[in-house]
Amino acid sequence: MTLQLAIAIALHQLATVIWIGGMFFAHFALRQSAQRRLEPPQRLPLLLAVFDRFFVWVWLAVVVLWASGFWIFLGIYDGAMGWHVHVMMALALVMTALFAYIYFVPYRALGQRVGEQDWAGAAARVATIRRIILINLALGLATAMLGSAGRYLQ
């Protein structure tokens, strides 16, 4: 394995950890803690601020994942890949599309609703974001499992 390929794999794994770990934290720790302790006028601006920062990292992770994924594909598989790589790429495409939807539709609407202090409308957008993040988290965990164990399942 070349140094360049090792760097691509390391970057791929780091981006995976950032995106999946962030979704896990947001769904199972932050959201539940904030919902139990904060009222909507405090909770919803906090969640918006968290998404403002986290989504920058997700965009970066998406770019790194796709770039390093193709780099790995060309370096390891040289065009011939197992079924698990096909599935990983399909799941990555779905995850990317779901994140883009979150970012351009409910997240933008959340910012507008928080700015208007429309707490019911903001809460509805957070609920939509939460559901899609949970789907993306499940897809991301499945993809990570395939990435680590897929070659042994053939």
State pLDDT tens for residues 76-86.
766 567 888 88
pTM: 0.92
Q: What is the pLDDT of residues 95-149, one digit of tens each?
A: 999 999 999 999 999 999 999 999 999 999 999 999 999 999 999 999 999 988 9
The whole-number average pLDDT for the span 34-55 is 97
pLDDT for res 62: 98
Give the burial class of 143: count Cβ atoms within 10 A of its Cβ; 0-12 exposed, 13-18 middle, 19 or more buried: buried
Q: Which residues have C-beta within 8 Å of that of residue 69, sequence separation ≥ 6?
A: 12, 88, 89, 92
Distance CA 65, CA 131 (A): 23
